[in-house]
C-alpha cells in the first residue's frame, strides 16, 4: 500500500485553502481530507458541532466497503459514495491512492452542485499530494501503523 507523503506547513496551508474555497462555493457545512485509513489530515467547518475525527474514520470505512462491493460486481472501483439524510447529506470522493474528500452539506442542496465543486477541490488536493510526494520520494508515512500512544517521535514543535 502506498504511504502518505510527508506533509509540511505549506502543504497544510494549501489543503486548507482548497477546503475553504470548496466550503464557500458549495455552501457545505464541512469538508475533510482524510487518508484512506480514516485519519483526519485537514478540515474546514465548525468542529464544535461535529466530531470530525470519528466522521473521518467512519467515512473511510464506508468508502472502503464500497470498494469491496465494486470488486464483487466486477467494477474497478466506485469513485464516490453519497448518503442522503433528512437534514444532512454526505459525499465521500476518491482523491488519489492516499486520500478521500468528505463533504457534509444540508440535504436540501443538490448533490450535483456539491459534486461539481468537489471535483475542483479534489484536483487541488491531489496536485498538492503530488508536490508533497515529489519533495521526499519514498519517505512517506503509513498512519495505520503509528503508535498513537506515543506520537512524540512523529510530531515535533516547529522551531
Residue 139 domain flag: no
The better pLDDT of the pair 65, 158 is held by: 65
116: containing domain: 9-134
Does pLDDT of 144 surpass 60?
no
pLDDT digits (tens, 9 = 90+) for 60-98: 999 999 999 999 999 988 899 999 999 999 999 999 998
Domain membership flag for residue 151: no
Domain count, the chain: 1
Prediction pTM value:
0.84
Going through the chain in order, the beta strands assigned E by DSSP cover 30-35, 40-45, 80-84, 88-94, 99-106
Task: Measure the CA–CA gap between 134 and 117, rounded to whole angstroms.
Answer: 26
User: Is residue 156 included in any domain, yes or no?
Assistant: no
Q: Is residue 144 part of a domain?
A: no
Best CA proximity match to 39, nearest among 68, 23, 60, 20: 60
Taking alpha carbons only, the member of 103, 126, 129 closest to residue 115 is 103
pLDDT, tens digit, 9 for 90 and up, residues 15-43: 999 999 999 999 999 999 999 988 999 99
- Helix, strand, coil percentages, rounded to 5, for the chain: 45, 20, 35
Cα 66 from Cα 31, distance rounded (Å): 20
Amino acid at each position: 500500500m502506498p504511504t502518505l507523503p510527508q506533509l509540511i506547513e505549506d502543504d497544510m496551508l494549501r489543503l486548507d485553502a482548497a477546503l475553504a474555497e470548496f466550503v464557500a462555493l458549495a455552501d457545505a457545512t464541512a469538508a475533510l481530507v482524510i487518508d484512506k485509513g480514516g485519519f483526519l489530515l485537514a478540515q474546514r467547518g465548525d468542529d464544535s458541532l461535529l466530531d470530525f475525527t470519528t466522521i473521518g474514520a467512519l467515512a473511510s470505512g464506508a468508502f472502503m466497503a464500497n470498494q469491496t462491493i465494486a470488486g464483487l460486481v466486477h467494477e474497478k472501483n466506485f469513485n464516490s459514495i453519497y448518503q442522503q439524510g433528512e437534514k444532512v447529506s454526505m459525499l465521500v470522493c476518491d482523491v488519489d491512492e492516499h486520500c478521500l474528500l468528505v463533504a457534509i452539506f444540508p440535504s436540501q442542496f443538490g448533490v450535483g452542485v456539491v459534486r461539481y465543486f468537489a471535483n475542483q477541490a479534489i484536483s487541488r488536493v491531489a496536485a498538492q499530494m503530488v508536490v508533497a510526494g515529489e519533495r521526499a520520494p519514498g519517505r512517506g508515512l503509513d498512519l495505520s501503523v503509528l503508535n498513537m500512544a506515543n506520537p512524540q517521535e512523529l510530531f515535533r514543535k516547529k522551531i
